[in-house]
Amino acid sequence: MALFEINNLTKRFGGLIAVDNLSFSIKKGEIFSIIGPNGAGKSTVFNCINGLYKPEEGSIQFKGENLIGQRPDQVAKMGIARTFQNLELFAHMTTIDNLLLGRHLHMKANLGQILGLNFRRSKAAKEEITHRRKVEEIIDFLELESARDQYVSNLPYGKQKLVELGRALALEPELILLDEPAAGLNQEEREEMVFWIQDIRDQLGVTVLLIEHNMQLVKGISDRILAISFGKKLTEGTPAEVLNHEEVIKAYLGEVV
């Protein structure tokens, strides 16, 4: 059985069909990528998965459970974390507080406890120790020690993207959705990001659903690729199959990638 499965998904905005009868499935442990030109509907697929948008038609299932109609926080609790195309971090908080907040937003605790205020010796205090330990593990894993106590706004963009990745990992997801994690990064940062994505799958065993505009980036790391254009599936297969597909090349023609 597939870990994750979308069937006949359609999402409209007025007269525009952003996602058009799309189906695909992902196996546990895969790095599965969705590619397509700008406006193809990639981010809309993510927004349907994590409960920000409600699709008009189709089904989305994770471990056999239906996701449509669930709120973003419920989807996160089920084990699906995500990052955004445009950074969504608390810029005026430190790296560690962003990770703690990411974890707590989906677990029980109040904001005071998260930030260490009114810290009581109680069950909540014990839970807090567990949360902090987990977050320290992630900081260690992503080699973010030097950024740990810095305000996110003071970090280079590449590090900020890593903090966002760390915040998603803090939820201990089974499936992580990454929306253009390398967008805006320079060549060196991009290569580093590729390395982290592989490590997340290889070391942490997290299944990865990656959206990427840049075909070269997905080529090396994806087990399978789905190419879409105008919300529709063009083709699906191994990187070699998809990137050499005539329809895919045509869809990208004239675009700088």
Task: State the minimum distance, in angstroms, from the CB of residue 92 to ligand ADP.
Answer: 27
Residue 38 touches which member of Mg ion, ligand ADP, none, C-beta under 5-8 Å by kind: ligand ADP
CB 209 within 8 A of CB 178: yes
Residues 9-68 that bind ligand ADP (CB under 6 A): 13, 16, 18, 36, 38-44
Between residues 14 and 64, which has the closer beta carbon with respect to ligand ADP?
14
Residue 79 touches which member of Mg ion, ligand ADP, none, C-beta under 5-8 Å by kind: none
How many residues make up the chain in this entry? 257
Point out which residues pair with 60 in neighbouring strands: 6
Reduced to 3 states (helix: H, G, I; strand: E, B; else coil), residue 86 is coil
Task: State the minimum distance, in angstroms, from the CB of residue 190 to ligand ADP.
Answer: 18
Task: State the minimum distance, in angstroms, from the CB of residue 40 to ligand ADP.
Answer: 4
Task: State the minimum distance, in angstroms, from the CB of residue 84 to ligand ADP.
Answer: 11
Between residues 38 and 118, which has the closer beta carbon with respect to ligand ADP?
38
- The contacts of residue 243 (CB under 8 Å, 6+ apart) are 215, 219, 225
Q: Which residues bind Mg ion (CB under 5 A)?
A: 42-43, 85
**Residue 89: how many CA atoms within 13 Å on its side-chain side?**
28
Q: Encoding tokens for residue 114? A: 């998260």
Residue 18 touches which member of ligand ADP, Mg ion, none, C-beta under 5-8 Å by kind: ligand ADP
Task: State the minimum distance, in angstroms, from the CB of residue 194 to ligand ADP.
Answer: 20
Residues 132-151 that bind ligand ADP (CB under 6 A): none
Measure the CA–CA gap between 185 and 162, rounded to whole angstroms.
Answer: 11
- The contacts of residue 17 (CB under 8 Å, 6+ apart) are 10, 11, 230, 231
Between residues 39 and 220, which has the closer beta carbon with respect to ligand ADP?
39
Q: Encoding tokens for residue 105? A: 């937003």
Question: Any idea what DSSP says for residue 123?
Answer: H
Q: Encoding tokens for residue 22? A: 């799309």
Task: State the minimum distance, in angstroms, from the CB of residue 227 to ligand ADP.
Answer: 11
Question: Cα–Cα distances in Å, from 95 out to 23, 174, 187, 196, 253?
Answer: 37, 23, 23, 17, 40
Between residues 23 and 85, which has the closer beta carbon with respect to Mg ion?
85
| Residue listed under structure tokens 């089904």 | 59
CB 109 within 8 A of CB 135: no
Between residues 57 and 172, which has the closer beta carbon with respect to ligand ADP?
57
Between residues 52 and 115, which has the closer beta carbon with respect to ligand ADP?
52
Residue 181 touches which member of Mg ion, ligand ADP, none, C-beta under 5-8 Å by kind: none
Q: Enumerate binding residues for ligand ADP (CB under 6 A).
A: 13, 16, 18, 36, 38-44
